[in-house]
Chains A and B, each alone.
Chain A
Amino acid sequence: MTTRTTITAATGAAALAATLLLSACAPGGSSAAGAGDPVEGGTLTWAIAAEPSCFAPAFHQLLSDRAVIRNYVDSLVYQEEDGSFTPWLAESWEVSEDGTEYTFTLASDVTFTDGAALDAAAVKTNLDFTRDAANGSTYAGLLGSVADIAADGQVLTITLSAPDSSLLDSLSSVALGIVSPEGVALGDELCAIDSGLAGTGPFVLGDYTRGDQLALTRNDDYTSAPESLDHGGPAYLESVTYKFMPEDSVRIGALESGQVDAISGIPALDVAGIEGNAELQYLNGPSTSMPFGFTINADAANAPWDDPALRQAFRDSFDVDAIVESVYRGEVARAYSYVGSDSPEFDESLVDAWGNNPDGANAQLDAAGWDERDDEGFRTKDGERLTLSVTYDSDSVRDSRDTVIEAVQDQAAKNVGIEVDFTTPTWAEVSADIADGTWSVYPGSFGKVDYANNVIGVWGGFFFAATDYQPTGAIDAATAAATALTPEDRSAALRTVQQELVIDEAIFVPVAESTFQIAARTSVGGLGFDYSSANPDGNYGVWVAASE
């Protein structure tokens, strides 16, 4: 069965690329309303933009899929809002002094909704499947540092080949959520809902109509809620339905007219209307995701942009604050780094360290020999115009990002004479250019990422895999961060990464903070975010007040 294996392996990779590139959204302020005390029973209907193409944790594609999967899948550890970790399926854990051995003691008396018992062997089956590249999980890389996993009753021992400061972060995510071991053997057949996919979560998968909706029903035997929550036992809601509504305006209208109770994915320009509606509440998620920005190819294939001075000149040629403010009217914050500003890893020194400096940019461009102008006012050198090609796959363009890019285009032309050529081809086209190293600029956001490994995988492994140019400074620092033994060392290394990417090499130009949003009827209580993904959380703590 080499054939099948390879297809799935490869699909996983495609899925990761899709995840990285299609995830995340954007906004700014935040408000929350309550619905009184939790109420037992009732049903809740969500409208979400994207239908998961796969329902198994190991193969889901989009970051937003995690909000759905979280309902039936628990993780070993729970990520708190401040980024720390508390017990979930693992009651406790110990880390060896050299940081290479993690010993987890799992909660006893937890069962999967198909009846199987949760023990260390079941967890080992899950993790071993995901980390074996031959199985094609999108998330094998999350367990790249794992050398061996041993199971003994409720005790799981993970031995690493090198310290991995991201391990708990990875284990807290939906991607490494634990499903019944019987299902694991099915591989990506588990993507289908009727395949026997079962977790230990507070809800159980129910009726599903592709292209329409998914129903979940309460797991009445649920006992394994994260320890730090003030709510134990089964969920409040009896059932939850997710409707798939790709059109933003339809989703919002459905909420306003009471056809659904909650929605996610709200364009920044619709926020004011929702906040002004007394029947609705709006919640903006934490800015812990990677911001939206431009990744620039620094290879000779993208000449003359292989010159860091030119990339810096482009970076400083426009006024990010003014552009973000005018497009999003205060609902989205301007970004400074490749790390979200609410993340503990965010490097404060990047604030106001770059951008909106046309004079400096003009001087740099003059010095680099681009000192002639053509009829249209663009800079030239030896008769060639200074052009930067921005290609954004059309499926990923959303939430006025095209308007932002056009504003950048306008300012770069007016302020310093750089021509920005903006096109929106298909993802197949963009990915082909990236695969052979001939891409120029890719605008995008990558969701809530593991900032250390993301640099290695995305800049090292994806954007610059086929180029002679390598962002070695950033990758070395990211490697140091990934293997750091203390949080201080990790933060210091990640500061270096941010300086390299944004300031020195200018291969990532941050534009706007990227967050996820929820809007709901005020009758809905307990809504919040899953801090491992910055996405809307599952519905464990959610309730609906008796009547509006």
Chain B
Amino acid sequence: MSGSSTGSVLLRGVLRRCAGAVVVLWAAITVTFVGIRAMPGSVEDVVLGIHANEPGLREQVRASLGLDEPVILQYFAYLGRVITGDFGRSYVLRADVSDVVFSQLGPTLQLAGAALLSALLVVWIVAVTTSGGSARSERALSLAELLAICLPTFWVGSLLIMWFSFGIKLFPASGADGLSALVLPTITLLLPLAGVLSQFMREEIGRQLRMPYIVSARSRGISEFRLRNVHLVPHAAVTTLTVAGTLFGSLIGGAVIVETVFGRPGLGRVALSAVGAQDTPVILAVVVLITTAYVVISTVVDLIALAIDPRLRKESA
């Protein structure tokens, strides 16, 4: 396999991924557009508030929001604006939506990114050190994973605040000021993700441990540390990374709760209040941004998988 053919395979992979990403984005925008219109209540009622029944005002509002146009035209107008990065103006915040969401994107990505990376690190350590253990320890770990997945994020967050912020006063309870403010929200968010990933990774490593190449590697006298980290982890990493990529969306969902509990700035809080007030421009912008982030992450994950596992390169060539 020459370098140039690897390159063209990678290029083709990237192009295919990008085309797929555009389709996913378009689908997300379309589904959200339809979904918001299917929600009970109407945007103009929210905008009109107590003036809902003043003569003539409703028509004016509908016209100014473009709601008097046929839905299909509204849809294409919206698509056109999104492509040029214009998300319009928030009815509730009275501010440019792009300004609002981009200012909130950073803290959310920081939180989700920290949770994702630390989840991978935790899972790596746990899987490498515990795989192939006794049946009893396997059961204990499975239970721990199940708990991590099932415990309600809201409850875990409150408990962590109670212990580590109000109790031993190690971390601040709220805000986004510096690294220490990131610790508790990250732990809260990473737990369910780590639970799922750990299940996948430990199972994969356990499977590999029974493979003949491991037996032959052991017979060469390789150290257990090297065996696990160099031979086993790359195998398990592909599955784990792919799962992690697909779970990134749920991380953003979890961020909504975590941001509320910890009083952290971020897209989640903005989205939550926008849905309550049917602030359509904000909802649509958040969906577009989160979808974009999701698509970018899963593309990167796929590319990393290509880099880790030569078989994927062959298969796609």
Using a CB–CB cutoff of 8 Å, the interface residues on chain A facing chain B are 2-4, 6-11, 13-18, 20, 47, 53-54, 59, 61, 188, 191-192, 209-213, 243-247, 249-250, 253-254, 256-259, 393-395, 425-432, 434-435, 457-458, 461-462, 465-466
A9 to B89 alpha-carbon distance, docked (Å) = 14
- Tell me the smallest distance from the CB of B162 to a CB of chain A, in Å: 7
13 more contacts with CB within 8 A, not counting A191-B95, A462-B52, are A7-B47, A8-B94, A10-B57, A13-B48, A13-B51, A16-B50, A213-B175, A250-B158, A259-B172, A426-B39, A427-B41, A428-B43, A435-B52
Q: Are B276 and A395 in touch, CB under 8 angstroms?
A: yes
- Residues of chain A lying within 8 A (CB to CB) of residue B103: 210
Q: Are B45 and A425 in touch, CB under 8 angstroms?
A: no
Would A428 and B265 be within 8 Å (CB), given that A10-B61, A18-B277 are in contact? no
Q: Are A435 and B45 in touch, CB under 8 angstroms?
A: yes
Would A253 and B161 be within 8 Å (CB), given that A2-B64, A10-B57, A59-B94 are in contact? yes
A18 to B91 alpha-carbon distance, docked (Å) = 12
Q: Are A428 and B39 in touch, CB under 8 angstroms?
A: yes
- Tell me the smallest distance from the CB of B227 to a CB of chain A, in Å: 46
B176 within 8 A of A: yes
Would A431 and B45 be within 8 Å (CB), given that A426-B275, A426-B276 are in contact? yes
Chain A CB count within 10 A is highest, among B95, B103, B264, for: B95
A18 to B94 alpha-carbon distance, docked (Å) = 14
A545 to B76 alpha-carbon distance, docked (Å) = 61
A256 to B162 alpha-carbon distance, docked (Å) = 11
CB-CB nearest in chain B for A138: B49
A209 to B277 alpha-carbon distance, docked (Å) = 22
Q: Are B176 and A212 in touch, CB under 8 angstroms?
A: yes
Would A431 and B46 be within 8 Å (CB), given that A11-B92, A192-B95 are in contact? yes
Q: Are B91 and A11 in touch, CB under 8 angstroms?
A: yes
- Tell me the smallest distance from the CB of A423 to a CB of chain B, in Å: 12
Against A, the Cβ 8 Å flags (1 = close, 0 = not) of B153-186 are 0000010011001110100111111000000000
Q: Are A432 and B277 in touch, CB under 8 angstroms?
A: no
- Tell me the smallest distance from the CB of B43 to a CB of chain A, in Å: 8
Q: Are B41 and A432 in touch, CB under 8 angstroms?
A: yes
- Residues of chain B lying within 8 A (CB to CB) of residue A191: 93-95
Q: Are A13 and B49 in touch, CB under 8 angstroms?
A: yes
Q: Which 8 A-B pairs rank lowest in CB-CB distance, beginning with the nearest? A: A211-B265, A428-B41, A17-B49, A435-B52, A465-B53, A432-B41, A462-B50, A14-B49
**23 interchain pairs (CB within 8 A)?**
A2-B64, A3-B64, A7-B64, A7-B65, A9-B57, A10-B48, A10-B60, A11-B94, A13-B52, A14-B48, A14-B49, A210-B104, A211-B259, A212-B263, A243-B263, A247-B260, A426-B275, A428-B40, A428-B42, A429-B39, A431-B49, A457-B50, A465-B52
Chain A CB count within 10 A is highest, among B45, B60, B107, B264, for: B45
Using a CB–CB cutoff of 8 Å, the interface residues on chain B facing chain A are 39-54, 57, 60-61, 63-65, 89, 91-95, 100, 103-104, 107, 158, 161-162, 165-167, 169, 172-177, 259-266, 269-270, 273, 275-278
A13 to B58 alpha-carbon distance, docked (Å) = 12
A251 to B53 alpha-carbon distance, docked (Å) = 39
- Residues of chain A lying within 8 A (CB to CB) of residue B167: 257
CB-CB nearest in chain B for A244: B263
Of the residues A10, A17, A250, A395, contact of B161 by C-beta under 8 Å: A250
A370 to B259 alpha-carbon distance, docked (Å) = 50
A435 to B52 alpha-carbon distance, docked (Å) = 5
- Tell me the smallest distance from the CB of B26 to a CB of chain A, in Å: 26
Q: Are A14 and B91 in touch, CB under 8 angstroms?
A: yes
CB-CB nearest in chain B for A2: B64
Q: Are B94 and A253 in touch, CB under 8 angstroms?
A: no
- Tell me the smallest distance from the CB of A181 to a CB of chain B, in Å: 20
Q: Are B278 and A426 in touch, CB under 8 angstroms?
A: yes
- Residues of chain A lying within 8 A (CB to CB) of residue B161: 250, 253
Would A211 and B107 be within 8 Å (CB), given that A243-B175, A256-B166 are in contact? yes
- Residues of chain A lying within 8 A (CB to CB) of residue B89: 7
- Residues of chain A lying within 8 A (CB to CB) of residue B259: 211
Q: Are A259 and B173 in touch, CB under 8 angstroms?
A: yes
- Tell me the smallest distance from the CB of B177 to a CB of chain A, in Å: 8
- Tell me the smallest distance from the CB of A326 to a CB of chain B, in Å: 26
Q: Are A54 and B93 in touch, CB under 8 angstroms?
A: yes
Q: Are B52 and A466 in touch, CB under 8 angstroms?
A: yes
A20 to B167 alpha-carbon distance, docked (Å) = 38
A243 to B173 alpha-carbon distance, docked (Å) = 11
- Residues of chain A lying within 8 A (CB to CB) of residue B52: 13, 431, 434-435, 462, 465-466
Q: Are B65 and A458 in touch, CB under 8 angstroms?
A: no
Q: Are B260 and A53 in touch, CB under 8 angstroms?
A: no
Q: Are B41 and A429 in touch, CB under 8 angstroms?
A: yes
A32 to B20 alpha-carbon distance, docked (Å) = 63
Q: Are B45 and A432 in touch, CB under 8 angstroms?
A: yes
- Residues of chain A lying within 8 A (CB to CB) of residue B91: 7, 10-11, 14
CB-CB nearest in chain A for B267: A211
- Residues of chain A lying within 8 A (CB to CB) of residue B46: 14, 427-428, 431
Chain B CB count within 10 A is highest, among A2, A211, A246, for: A211
A394 to B276 alpha-carbon distance, docked (Å) = 8
Would A253 and B266 be within 8 Å (CB), given that A6-B61, A17-B50 are in contact? no
CB-CB nearest in chain B for A189: B94
A169 to B1 alpha-carbon distance, docked (Å) = 83
Of the residues A246, A428, A465, contact of B278 by C-beta under 8 Å: A428
CB-CB nearest in chain B for A463: B50
- Residues of chain B lying within 8 A (CB to CB) of residue A395: 273, 276
A53 to B51 alpha-carbon distance, docked (Å) = 20
Q: Are A249 and B276 in touch, CB under 8 angstroms?
A: no
- Tell me the smallest distance from the CB of A290 to a CB of chain B, in Å: 15
CB-CB nearest in chain B for A187: B94
A426 to B276 alpha-carbon distance, docked (Å) = 6
- Tell me the smallest distance from the CB of A54 to a CB of chain B, in Å: 6
A7 to B94 alpha-carbon distance, docked (Å) = 9
- Residues of chain B lying within 8 A (CB to CB) of residue A212: 175-177, 263-265
- Residues of chain A lying within 8 A (CB to CB) of residue B65: 7
A428 to B45 alpha-carbon distance, docked (Å) = 7
- Residues of chain B lying within 8 A (CB to CB) of residue A244: 263
- Residues of chain B lying within 8 A (CB to CB) of residue A434: 52
A466 to B49 alpha-carbon distance, docked (Å) = 13
A244 to B270 alpha-carbon distance, docked (Å) = 13
Q: Are B61 and A429 in touch, CB under 8 angstroms?
A: no
CB-CB nearest in chain B for A457: B50
Q: Are A250 and B92 in touch, CB under 8 angstroms?
A: no
Q: Are B94 and A6 in touch, CB under 8 angstroms?
A: no
- Residues of chain A lying within 8 A (CB to CB) of residue B64: 2-4, 6-7, 10
